[in-house]
Each structure stands twice: as structure tokens, then as C-alpha cells.
Structure 1
Amino acid sequence: MPDAEDFTRIEALARSLQPGSVGHAYGPWLAARGAGLKDQAKAALGDFLNEALTWPEARRRDFVVWLDQASEQTGARRAITPHPLMTRLVLPTLWAWAEAEPADAMAHLLLARFHNWSLDDTSPLDHYRRALERDAGLVAARRGVIHALCDMVERNQHHLPVDYLGDRQRDAASMEEAASLAEGLPDAAERQDLIAHAAMLRDRALGLRSDGGLATYFFAR
């Protein structure tokens, strides 16, 4: 459930939309949702979907790209992507995009970033890998694979030092891969931090460290 800060961010996003902008048609839902007006928000979402589903494919794609950027800006991805929007517009648009342009990395990147296990059996890691395979220079995909690998290993280490939930050798190999991928990140500070983090998780997997799990969970946010 959204918290008070989410509502504030949603309201601010609604106020920032300019007439004619990609996300402007979504503004009434954002405004009602940010104000906590459930009935008005439900009606506004229905009106928006009825309109958006008539848009040309290119405009629907543009909206999903905008929604991703807005999600990053607000830090409230799940709060601004209600279930009907995901099932009726976002995911169908991305699935159709990936099928129509199989060599395009963006659809796979966005399928990872909007991932919801109840709606998509393919893991975020697999989607990020597909994006990176299609565009080795796509930093967001590279970063996504690294974080997804670390997330998987962190979960396996959650009960340390009492128990290890996964395969230690496989997890160590995953952290070697994560460190190797991090070498290709353009930001030096991020690169160093992720290489060090992967090395720490690798050492835990190999039993070279006995401290407890982190449970930071990149994809839980």
C-alpha cells in the first residue's frame, strides 16, 4: 500500500504534467490518487484506459516509457501503476512490442523494470539478460542484471550464519559474473561499490565470511 510520502509524490507528479505532454492524460488519475479520493481515482482510471486503448501502438509505447521515467522520478513505481493499468495497457503493450521487434532491447528492459510475478512468469533477471543481449551498451540493462544477481544471492544468504538457502558454488559464480559486468559500468563510484558488494557476497557463498545476511532485496522496493 502507498504511504504518505507516496501520495505526496503522486500529487507532485500530477501537478508537473503539462498539456500535450505524454503523461498528461494520466493526470486526472494521479491527482485523484494522490489526494486519496478512491472513487474519483477509480473513475479516472477507467476513463484513461478507455482512451489509451484506442491510441496507436507508438503512442502506447511512448506512454509506457514515460511511466517508467515517472516511476524512477517519484520512487513510487507500484503506487502509480495500478493492477488494471498493468494488465490492460502496460504489459500488453510491452509484450506486443517485444514480439513485433525481437531485436529491440527496450521492451525487455521495461518488462524487467515493471515486473510483477503475479502477471509474468519470466524473471526480471531473464528480461534484463535479453535486453543486454540485444544491446550490450545499454547501461540500465547491465545494471539490472547485476542487481538481479545480487538480489538472488542475498535471498539465499538471508538466514546466515545459521543456514544457506541456495547452492554456494552457483552463487559464487553468479557474483563473479556480477563483478565482471560491473567492470563495464561508466560511473566509477557505482562500479567500485558493486564490485565490492559482489565480492562480499561471493565470499559469503564460499564460506569465507560468517556474518549474517543483508536482506536488502533490490526487487522488493
Structure 2
Amino acid sequence: MIAKDQNTALLTVGKAALKNADWTDYANYCFDREKGLRKDAFKHLEKFLKSTEDWTFYKKIDFLKFLFPFFENVQDADYACFPQPLSDKLVKPTLIKWCDNEDADNNPFRWYGKYYRSENHLFKALEINPTDDLARQTLLSWWTYNIYYSVHHLPEGYIGEPLEYIKLGEKIKTEIQKLSTAQLREYWMNELEEDLELVRNYIDWKASGHSDFEKWGMENKKQTGYGLTRTYYYEE
């Protein structure tokens, strides 16, 4: 079952696709998918993909230039509007060829890097355009998630080597400072520091020799847990 945001995205992308007659079958895929007519939707998609076999390389690029801004700016557009056959038969091979022949446009590198999980492509996007905040934030989201994952079972247990995540935190801070706006820098620093606080507290607890991390946190007014509701200890 498709969620409400995905339905909205399907209608948004479908209506925009109607502006190009060559994309009508893709638009109809979006409309039928929004209605819950999955079988009919994929028939339209199959017809669309068949038609793209005769497209020039640049015509395929034009479709990708149309599609990816929706993926990056419309909530959930990169789910239902980006089915596996579209990815495998058109988008991925076109991006690979585009990146192999591109040295001035950072977009294909960012798109490939984000949607096919390649740090090297994201670094290339940033090499071409150091102000590409979208590429940099994709890297930040992956790296900060690694730190979050290491602490998300605390106080029961830590996953990984905490000192390595302190080093990763410094690497992340360097990238955060390269973001183009103070608002973005503040957002990512807050995201990072919430988890680094837990890492540092865990390291301090281990060094203390105390037998119980949670009790140590209570005694020292330190955060020891991470979940839907963070666990903080304050002086009364």
C-alpha cells in the first residue's frame, strides 16, 4: 500500500511529465500507481521503457534532468516514482555513461552517488562544485548515521569502537564547516553533537571503572540513553 506522501508525489510528477509527449506513458504509470492500479501502471512503465530504447543519449539525459529534481525536492518522490525497472533499464545505465563523459556538471555524480550509494561519486560532485550542499549533506547523513547506530542501543551496549567514532566526528565537523549557510551548519552540528555526547560519556564511563553505565550517568548527571525519548539527568 502506497503512503499518502507517495500518492501526492505520484500526482505531482505525473502531471509534470505530461508536458512532454514522449513521457506520457511514464505519466500514466504515475497516475495508475496513485490509483492503486499497480498491474496497469507497470504496463505503462514497460511501454515507456521500450520507447526509450530508441532515444538518443541526450534525450535520456533530458529525462533524468526532469526527474531527479523531484526526487530531491518532493517528499517521497524517489519511492513510488522511481520503480526498480526504471532504475535498472534507464536511469542507472544513463547515469553511468553520463558520468564517464562528464567533467563540468556535478549533478549526475551527485545523483549517482546518492541513489546508488557511491561516496566516490559524491566526492567527484564536490570536486566539480565545492558548494554542492546536497552532495555534502548526503555524505553527512551517511556518516552521522554510523555514529547514531553505534550508540542507539545504549545504555545496554555500545556497537563498535568509540574512539573511531570520535575521529569520524572530527571528519564530519570539517565537512559541516564547508556548508554554504549558517542554518545548515547549525543543524548538522546539533545532529552530530547529540550523538557524540553519548560516545564521549561512554568513553568516560569506561575510564572511570564504574560497573554500571546507567548508574554512572545518574550519579554524574550525564546522558546514557538514546531512543525515541532521550534520557537526561538533571540536578533538581
Q: Which TM bucket (shorter chain)?
A: 0.7 to 0.9
Task: Report the number of matched residues.
Answer: 208
Structure-2 residue corresponding to 1:50: 50
CA distance change for structure 1 residues 21 and 158 in 2, over 3 Å: closer, same or farther? farther
Greater RCO, 1 or 2 (C-alpha within 8 Å, sep 6+): 1
The residue number in structure 2 matching 1:212 is 225
Hey, what's the Cα distance between the residues in 2 that align with 1:62 and 1:70?
14
Partner of 1:66 in structure 2?
A: 66
Instruction: Quote the sequence identity (%).
Output: 22
Q: Deviations over 1:121-168 (max 9, x none)?
A: xx4444323322343222211222211111221122221122121221
Question: Equivalents in 1 of 2:55, 2:193: separation in Å?
Answer: 47
Change (3 A) 1:158 1:23: farther
Structure 2 distance, partners of 1:96, 1:90, is 10
Q: Partners of 1:183 and 1:24 in 2: how far apart?
A: 44
Q: CA RMSD in A?
A: 2.5
Q: Normalization by structure 2: what TM-score?
A: 0.77
Instruction: Answer whether contact 1:105 1:131 (CA < 8 A) is retained.
Output: yes
1:174 maps to which of 150, 168, 181: 168
Whole-Å Cα distance in 1 between the matches of residues 146 and 22 of structure 2?
35
Q: For the residues of structure 1 that align with 2:121 and 2:160, how far apart are their CA atoms?
A: 22
> Matches of 2:23 and 2:195 in 1, distance apart?
40
Q: Once the 2 structures are TM-superposed, how far is the Cα of residue 18 of structure 1 from its aligned partner?
A: 4.3
Does the CA contact (< 8 Å) of 2:32 and 2:40 recur in 1?
A: yes
Say yes or no: does 1:80 pair with 2:81: yes
- Provide structure 2 residue ranges, at least 5 long, that are not aligned to the other structure: 205-221, 229-236
SS in 2 for 1:136: coil
Q: 1: distance between equivalents of 2:147 and 2:22?
A: 38
Q: Structure 1 residues 127, 160: CA separation in 2 closer, same or farther (over 3 Å shift)?
A: farther
- Alignment partners' CA distance in 2, 1:22 and 1:68: 17
Aligned to 2:189: 195
Counterpart residue number, 1:8: 8
1:100 corresponds to: 101
* CA shift in 2, pair 1:173/1:104, >3 Å: farther
**Quick check: 151-160 or 10-19, which moved more?**
10-19
The alpha-carbon distance between structure 1 residues 162 and 21, as it changes in their structure 2 partners (threshold 3 A), is: farther
Calculate the TM-score normalised by the size of structure 1: 0.81
1:108–1:130 contact (8 Å) kept in structure 2: yes
- Distance, in Å, in 2 between the alignment partners of 1:55 and 1:138 is 30
